[in-house]
């Protein structure tokens, strides 16, 4: 029974992934999310329901448009697979609960932020600001794990831990940004990354914010180093940081307490 529900969660997540792809395609261009309906970017033919089955349509059609045979980009497929995995892991960790809904929602948010940064080198304020407001409201209803455990009265506890987490995240990336700015006229860390780190702290809370940010820095450093070594990227080319922050944040949302306890157990 449990396995069936994990599979159902994965299928539901990949269907949500189709909508995330629409957000990723249209938000940077300032287009409507609802209109026009999904269509082939090459021949403009509207897609029928059988073309829109998450993950499977892509495999079945062998990456080609049914109407004009133009090849379909790879990213929508991987976003659907990724959000399917996100929902499956969230269900596995949290069962059918409010936590599941919150983690899945935040995971979707960071998939959209991360992929848009990967493709456009942009972290959109029109996503970050409303997300911060939503995160503040959620922190009242479901306090994120915090370093402050004095008995603050509800609704202060969650908000205080969220806001402290946000401040830690913001400052943690602001310092290297200010230090590196005289040396790099462009590229490197941007203002968007700093705002995103603040949002991450607000969401994850003061206890785990550094777990997510350090993981993002290490992950980004390793991948950037590997790309330079393999000469896939040149030293001058900027590698966006948002995708690594996103991946690290989703990992921390799912397994952060376990990771922190493992790390603290090393000493």
52 belongs to the binding site for Zn ion (CB under 5 A):
no
Q: Using the rule CB under 5 A, which residue among 10, 20, 65, 203 binds Zn ion?
A: 65
| Spatial separation of the C-alpha atoms in residues 267 and 259, rounded to whole Å | 14
42 belongs to the binding site for Zn ion (CB under 5 A):
yes
CB nearer to Zn ion: give 43 or 137.
43
Q: What secondary structure letter does DSSP report for 99?
A: H
Stretch that binds Zn ion, among 65-73, 167-175, 230-238, 242-250 (CB under 5 A): 65-73
Query: Which two tokens mark 88?
Result: 């499956």
| Spatial separation of the C-alpha atoms in residues 190 and 83, rounded to whole Å | 26
* Least gap, CB of 18 to Zn ion (angstroms): 17
43 belongs to the binding site for Zn ion (CB under 5 A):
yes
Residue 139's contacts (CB-CB under 8 Å, 6 or more residues apart) are: 158, 159, 161, 162, 202, 203, 205
Stretch that binds Zn ion, among 34-42, 52-60, 194-202, 227-235 (CB under 5 A): 34-42
| Spatial separation of the C-alpha atoms in residues 259 and 247, rounded to whole Å | 14
Stretch that binds Zn ion, among 50-58, 64-72, 86-94, 232-240 (CB under 5 A): 64-72
Q: Site residues for Zn ion, window 67-96 (CB under 5 A)?
A: 67-68, 70
| Spatial separation of the C-alpha atoms in residues 247 and 127, rounded to whole Å | 17
| Spatial separation of the C-alpha atoms in residues 60 and 44, rounded to whole Å | 20
| Spatial separation of the C-alpha atoms in residues 147 and 185, rounded to whole Å | 37
* Least gap, CB of 63 to Zn ion (angstroms): 12
Stretch that binds Zn ion, among 11-19, 63-71, 78-86, 203-211 (CB under 5 A): 63-71
| Spatial separation of the C-alpha atoms in residues 56 and 45, rounded to whole Å | 19
Total residues contacting Zn ion by CB under 5 A comes to 7
CB nearer to Zn ion: give 62 or 235.
62
CB nearer to Zn ion: give 70 or 239.
70
Q: Site residues for Zn ion, window 121-160 (CB under 5 A)?
A: none
* Least gap, CB of 256 to Zn ion (angstroms): 42
* Least gap, CB of 21 to Zn ion (angstroms): 16
Q: Site residues for Zn ion, window 12-31 (CB under 5 A)?
A: none
| Spatial separation of the C-alpha atoms in residues 30 and 39, rounded to whole Å | 17
| Spatial separation of the C-alpha atoms in residues 90 and 101, rounded to whole Å | 8
CB nearer to Zn ion: give 61 or 134.
61
User: 């499956």: which residue's tokens?
Assistant: 88
Q: Using the rule CB under 5 A, which residue among 6, 40, 81, 227 binds Zn ion?
A: 40
Contact 197, 245 (CB under 8 A): yes
Residue 74's contacts (CB-CB under 8 Å, 6 or more residues apart) are: 63
Residues that bind Zn ion (CB under 5 A): 40, 42-43, 65, 67-68, 70
């Amino acid at each position: 029974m449990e396995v069936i529900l994990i599979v159902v969660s994965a299928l539901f997540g990949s269907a949500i992934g189709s909508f995330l792809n629409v957000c990723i395609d249209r938000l940077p261009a300032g287009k409507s999310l609802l209109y026009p309906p999904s269509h082939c970017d090459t021949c403009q033919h509207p897609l029928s329901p059988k073309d829109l089955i998450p993950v499977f349509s892509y495999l079945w059609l062998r990456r080609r448009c049914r109407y004009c045979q133009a090849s379909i980009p790879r990213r929508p497929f991987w976003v659907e697979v990724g959000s399917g995995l996100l929902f499956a892991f969230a269900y596995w960790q949290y069962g059918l609960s409010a936590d599941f809904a919150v983690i899945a929602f935040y995971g979707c948010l960071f998939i959209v932020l991360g992929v848009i940064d990967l493709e456009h080198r942009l972290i959109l304020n029109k996503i970050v600001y409303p997300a911060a407001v939503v995160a503040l409201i959620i922190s009242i209803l479901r306090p994120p794990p915090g370093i402050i455990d004095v008995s603050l009265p509800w609704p202060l506890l969650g908000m205080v831990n969220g806001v402290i987490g946000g401040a830690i995240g913001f400052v943690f990336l602001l310092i290297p940004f200010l230090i590196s700015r005289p040396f790099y006229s462009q590229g490197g860390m941007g203002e968007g990354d700093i705002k995103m780190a603040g949002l991450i702290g607000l969401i994850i809370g003061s206890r785990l914010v550094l777990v997510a940010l350090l993981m993002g820095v290490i992950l980004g450093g390793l991948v950037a180093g590997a790309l330079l070594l393999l000469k896939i990227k040149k030293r001058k080319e900027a590698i966006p940081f948002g995708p690594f922050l996103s991946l690290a944040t989703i990992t921390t949302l799912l397994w952060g307490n376990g990771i922190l306890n493992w790390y603290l157990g090393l000493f």
